[in-house]
Chain A
């Protein structure tokens, strides 16, 4: 234990020193490095293990946290992403869907209208499925695995639900913006989400106007996005923040509202985000101990600055990060250190992550975190097929629905829970075993191309270097015993993917 603590303390000091790249370390064996990768990626891969063994953990992590080159996915994955309609810019895509909706609503024949409305709904659902497909392809094959996990984390933190209104058109764009900002500062993320039409619509802020207050977004902004429920705010603060947020809404058209000449200069439009001064409450606001002078859209920036720097935010979001990456009940001392780093670095996410990953608590927690459904499904497919790119993510989306953690499908703004209790119920375990069998027994639809009658031939190949070097040496005796009783490769795969060892990261 002492050696471990020493070596991680050394790692910590090296990571803090950006100018001198740390030398490769050989402090850990391949099995321990695999566990480390299992925590920082969507499931360790042979390639990442080889890179860590060659360059050392620090160099691998630096490349993850400061990606310099444009990301390249394997060609077969990239081609699938490029073929998606959600690649189109958001505004024209939304307007095209709006036109389809209006055309359907305008039909006078009831049968034709019902049919057209159904088609519209199906088109929306198809777009959200495309976004899910892109998310899963990125999780499976992006070399920037830490960034992909952070993208998922931030979407969940700033959660929106795909089935509200037309959000199915928007979730892909919303997620892509979170991906780009996922390793930046918290303030950037907060500002981004506060102005994205998906959020403004999901939490009803587009309905929030002077004298017609809707406090839904204001409350969740304090409770879930920044300070946390015990973070020191009152009902009065919620109401005042709701006033600050008045006038910030969504405009899907090209039209501009009619304004009095004096208000023209205050109007702002950016994509579908609109600040409409005619709907804003220009009175002064008192919240969280400060006075916000009524001045229009800039009020919100003042409040977001305050919230992003607030010690309660630093602690609340650091704890949530540690809950996702370290333990259901993260060690308070670790959370405090992360929050301190947050305060010192103005909420720079990579700094907070470095403080976490370099900690002895992180190392000590490896292999003890129960995988949530997304980690389970993605890591199983990564293990089963490694570099052989799947041709259809549909089955994965279906498994995530069955396990209760489908992309963009958490209805409530709190996001999916991050602790084992939420995912390890008896019914959920049984479902996992059935999915283990599906993945372990054959191609499971993952290689079925749309329009073709059958799957292209594929079979899970788990016996690769990652398995022999990284996984086999640490399997529990009971797991070994079960694997030895397998009567076919299918059954062997099923048992491995169903084992307690594979349920944890």
Chain B
């Protein structure tokens, strides 16, 4: 009997643990969404562009401070101890000029756009996110599990396939005992929330079982992680064993004012994010070789700094692709010289690497999806293989 059917019968809460385990060698995907549009030009620094230094008199990262990646690009020093080592191991790639065709410069419009992954034209279905469609394409006959490590199920994971959500910041023991859970699930048995409720009970139980080891590790002198690092470590524990499609979002990137350069507001955020992801890589252990982390954001920011030593809403961004099996240590995708004449609408990075093409190409490599499957995940888009995995 399929696990999903068990869930629908309300028996999920009593299933033994091992049924939930993912196949050990199946690829893991974690999508990290930086909500608020992070300033890509101050992470992946176009060090060979004199225009960059003209356009950002107060917030540019000096060439001497950036960690050289290739002849044209350098990396923000804020991630020197976290992401740069992955780059040196060939486990990190960056895709500049990445993003969507949506030029609304609206956070919400563009976030929705990316998460839904539907055609640019025509009406959109807000109940169908592309990671859910990916789960659907991959899920037939497998024990794949998709989960958002957030308080809400984000658009990107909404859809027909049952998915889990559980924020991992604060976790206690489940307050509802097994018998009560059965009774409550019984009340929902004939409602549209039936599988949501049974699935929720089960995930809760599994997560707390999984996290029981954390206390033990902490008491043996492991450094207690905080903030995003703590969440990243917990995500790794779940993705190592069970979750193969994961999602988390990190907010606070909307740096209109006082963004900073090599240090400051953005650098602090990038440092915290980088340390979390490095910890994630570490905690994944041998599974890191099967894992791909993609860091995306809705759009980039204005290339020139604004009047408040910050940046406003722009267009092209830079995505990160990390993983033990990633063909990294390089800047991937279509590129163009960074100068005033190549800016989009004379203000932003252009988008040369459309996100659906990029993800499509990656999924082809990771999962061997055929064209029909790719068309289900990203209708109307064609995949572009950047050889990232």
- Any A CB within 8 A of the CB of B151: yes
Q: How many A-B residue pairs have CB under 8 A?
A: 144
- Any B CB within 8 A of the CB of A211: yes
Which one, B109, B176, B256, contacts A437 given CB within 8 A? B176
Find chain B residues with CB under 8 A from A495 CB: 183-184, 187
CA distance A215 to B126 in the complex (A): 28
CA distance A198 to B11 in the complex (A): 50
Find chain A residues with CB under 8 A from B165 CB: 425-428
Q: Which residue in chain B gives the minimum CB-CB distance to A235?
A: B105
- Any A CB within 8 A of the CB of B327: no
> Which of B307-315, B357-365, B380-388 interfaces with chain A?
B307-315
Scan A322-349; emit 1 where CB is below 8 A from any B CB, else 0: 0000000000000000000000000000
- The smallest beta-carbon distance between B253 and chain A, in angstroms, is 11
Q: Do A427 and B203 touch across chains, with their CB atoms under 8 A apart?
A: yes
Q: Do A229 and B307 touch across chains, with their CB atoms under 8 A apart?
A: no
- Any A CB within 8 A of the CB of B295: no
CA distance A427 to B196 in the complex (A): 9
Q: Do A500 and B251 touch across chains, with their CB atoms under 8 A apart?
A: no
Q: Do A421 and B256 touch across chains, with their CB atoms under 8 A apart?
A: no
Q: Do B189 and A478 touch across chains, with their CB atoms under 8 A apart?
A: yes
- Any B CB within 8 A of the CB of A216: yes
Chain B stretch 13-60: residues in CB contact (< 8 A) with chain A = 35-36
Q: Which residue in chain A gives the minimum CB-CB distance to B35?
A: A412
Find chain A residues with CB under 8 A from B196 CB: 424-426, 429
Please give the number of chain A residues whose Cβ is less than 8 angstroms from any Cβ of chain B in the complex.
48
- Any B CB within 8 A of the CB of A150: no
CA distance A207 to B193 in the complex (A): 46
Find chain A residues with CB under 8 A from B175 CB: 433-434, 437-438
- Any B CB within 8 A of the CB of A11: no
CA distance A498 to B181 in the complex (A): 10
Which one, A204, A479, A498, contacts B257 given CB within 8 A? A204
Find chain A residues with CB under 8 A from B181 CB: 433
Q: Do B189 and A215 touch across chains, with their CB atoms under 8 A apart?
A: no
Q: Do A215 and B251 touch across chains, with their CB atoms under 8 A apart?
A: no
CA distance A229 to B184 in the complex (A): 41
Q: Which residue in chain B gives the minimum CB-CB distance to A223?
A: B106
Query: What are 7 inter-chain pairs, A to B, with CB distance below 8 A?
Result: A204-B256, A214-B306, A412-B251, A417-B152, A430-B176, A481-B187, A498-B187
Interface residues of B (CB under 8 A from A): 35-36, 103-109, 126-127, 148, 151-153, 158, 162-167, 170, 174-176, 180-181, 183-184, 186-191, 193, 196-197, 199-201, 203-204, 251-252, 256-257, 306-308, 312-313
8 more contacts with CB within 8 A, not counting A204-B256, A216-B312, A500-B193, are: A207-B307, A229-B106, A414-B108, A421-B153, A425-B163, A430-B176, A433-B175, A485-B183
Interface residues of A (CB under 8 A from B): 204, 207, 209, 211-216, 219, 223-224, 229, 235, 402-404, 411-412, 414, 417, 421-430, 433-434, 437-438, 476, 478-479, 481-482, 485, 491, 494-495, 498-500, 503
7 tightest A-B contacts by CB?
A212-B307, A426-B200, A404-B151, A425-B153, A427-B166, A430-B200, A425-B165
